[in-house]
Amino acid sequence: MQTPEQDILNDVFARKQRRRALLPLWIKIFIWIYFIFSGITVIAFVVGLFGLNFKLEEFGLSTQDPTSVTAMILVAINVFKGVVSYSLWNEKSYGVRLAIADAISSIVVCSAVMIYHFSNGDLSLRLELLPLYFYLVKMRRIRKEWESEYVLQEQQEGEVYAPANRTQ
């Protein structure tokens, strides 16, 4: 027979598995890609401050100067994507909200770059918009379930661990 503590741990563990299970495989793959890219970007930026040049490019923005405004924007974008990846992978309650903000901001940046290139006479279609759209749609669809799992877990933990609610 299991003790109440084991039941609680099993229940919390099962809930965590369900939350990550809400993410489709392609999003899990991108989570790991951005874990790696955000780490590489930060390392490259720091090394670039010591004189080594490298090329950063994402969403149509590109630079070879690590101290340029474009480089700072790209580093910030990649670090934010790393934070979003961490929060989704570790099933944080705010993970989906951050992912939605990430998708919207990425769509805005990508569209702005596309409009900028078009205004300069260069037709640049950014294919990143397609997976970003599906990413946004998926995150919006799972948001309620993701957050309801968290609310349920918080309520149950509050009932179990709050001294006033113990009846033994």
pTM score of the predicted model = 0.73
Most trustworthy range by pLDDT among 5-9, 58-62, 67-71, 78-82: 78-82
Indicate whether 9 belongs to any domain: no
Whether residue 60 contacts residue 111, with contact meaning beta carbons closer than 8 Å, is answered with no
Whether residue 99 contacts residue 91, with contact meaning beta carbons closer than 8 Å, is answered with no
What's the whole-number mean pLDDT along residues 26-50?
89
Whether residue 145 contacts residue 22, with contact meaning beta carbons closer than 8 Å, is answered with yes
Question: Is residue 161 predicted with pLDDT exceeding 50?
Answer: no
Range of the domain at 68: 19-154
Indicate whether 37 belongs to any domain: yes
Average pLDDT, rounded, for the chain: 80
Check residue 103 and give its pLDDT: 94
Query: Of 8 and 75, which is predicted with more confidence?
Result: 75
Indicate whether 3 belongs to any domain: no
What's the whole-number mean pLDDT along residues 116-129?
83
Burial class (CB in 10 A: 0-12, 13-18, 19+), 100: middle
What's the whole-number mean pLDDT along residues 79-99?
92
Check residue 56 and give its pLDDT: 82
Q: How many domains does the chain have?
A: 1
Indicate whether 95 belongs to any domain: yes
Indicate whether 100 belongs to any domain: yes
Q: Which residues of 108-136 are buried (b: 16+ CB within 10 A; e: fewer)?
A: ebbeebbeeeeeeeeeeebebeeebeebb
pLDDT confidence band for 146 (50 / 70 / 90): confident
